[in-house]
Homo-oligomer: A and B are copies of this chain.
Amino acid sequence: MESYVKPQHEARAKIIKAMAHPSRLFIIEELSKHERCVGELTEMIGSDASTVSKHLSVLKNAGLVTDEKRGNSIYYSLRVPCIMQFMGCVEDVLSANAKQHNAILKCCKG
Q: Which of A68-76, A80-88, A102-110 contacts B (4 or more CB under 8 A)?
A: A80-88
Q: Interface on chain A toward B: helix, strand, loop, or mixed SS?
A: helix
Given contacts A10-B22, A12-B94, 12 further A-B contacts (CB under 8 A): A1-B44, A2-B46, A5-B23, A5-B44, A9-B26, A12-B25, A16-B19, A17-B20, A17-B21, A20-B20, A80-B89, A80-B96
Residues of B within 8 A of A82 (CB): 88-89, 92
Residue of B nearest to A94 (CB): B11
Q: Name A residues whose Cβ lies closer than 8 Å to a Cβ of B.
A: 1-2, 4-6, 9-13, 15-17, 19-26, 29, 43-47, 62-64, 79-80, 82-83, 85-94, 96-97, 100
